[in-house]
Amino acid sequence: MSEVPPTRMNQQIFKGKLKAAQGGHKLLKKKADALKVKFRDYAKNIAETKGGMATDASGAFFSLTQAEYAAGNFKQKVAEGSMTARVRVGAGVDNVAGVKLPVFTKYETGAAADNQSLGLVGGGKKIVAVREKFTVLLDMLIRLASLQTSFVTLDEALKVTNRRVNALENVTIPRIEGVLSYIGRELDELEREDFTRLKLVQGKKQEEEKAEQKKKEAAAKTKKPGKENDADITAAFDANDDEDVVF
């Protein structure tokens, strides 16, 4: 704090910094609250998705077992196909309180379906059921992957935001307030010193004026009264020079 000169300009500068820090703390607090709400929503959706996916996965693999039992081992025939993907995963971005979260979506490529002849000998309905159930399971996996990735990203953003909020609340704002308090104390001390100096100057000036007044009064008392009339006015005139007056 002693490195900051205690001046009015620095006081105004640090008041502006304090206002900006308090405004930033308020905004980051709101952002952290919004991220916490979204974080809880993602955690809830992940739990629900995982709970539903367990049932869907067990149903899909059980259906695969039934299809293999009905149609035989058709995995080799599937592997011999062109293996052109009919479904792909696209990545998007969702903005939550300034945080960009990845979002995965499924889209159709338009490729022709291979191995349509599977199940002609037997087990065709079971194979169709397997395809439908694994399609549902794929949708659940994509949704879970999107939720999990967004959850991890949101968790990191929430930690960073909380660290910034704590830094502003416990370090930056108290430090600025301490500097302002130091500048205020120093300015008050300077004002008291100036006031004391001014009082001393005024007191000395008043003492000089009183001393000058006393000198004037003493000089007026020591001066003799009627000194101007001590000389005889008639001595300057000669009576013989006057003419006689005849009545």
**Placement of tokens 């000169």 in the chain:** 5
> What are the Cα distances from residue 222, in Å, to 208, 216, 218, 219, 226?
21, 10, 6, 5, 13
Higher pLDDT, 217 or 178: 178
**Band (117; pLDDT cuts 50, 70, 90):** low
Sign of CA dihedral 84, 86, 92, 94: negative
Going by pLDDT thresholds of 50, 70 and 90, the confidence category of residue 129 is confident
Secondary structure (DSSP) of 199-239: HHHHHHHHHHHHHHHHHHHHHHHHSPTTGGG-S-GGGGS-G
Taking residues 220-225, what's their average pLDDT?
A: 67
pLDDT reported for residue 77: 63
Q: Is the pLDDT of residue 190 over 70?
A: yes
Question: What is the distance between the alpha carbons of residues 74 and 72, in angstroms, rounded to a whole number?
Answer: 6
The pLDDT tens digits for 9-44 are: 888 899 899 999 999 999 999 988 988 988 899 899
Residue that wins the pLDDT comparison between 150 and 66: 150
Whole-model pTM: value is 0.61
Q: Which of 35-39, 152-156, 233-237 has the lowest mean pLDDT?
A: 233-237
Q: What is the mean pLDDT of residues 169-191?
A: 89
Q: Which amino acid is at 17?
A: K
Among 58-62, 64-68, 100-104, 117-121, name the most confident range.
100-104
Q: What is the pLDDT of residue 166?
A: 92
pLDDT confidence band for 58 (50 / 70 / 90)? confident
Q: Which two tokens mark 220?
A: 């007026």
SS3 content of the chain, % helix, strand, coil (to 5): 70, 10, 20
Mean pLDDT of the chain: 79
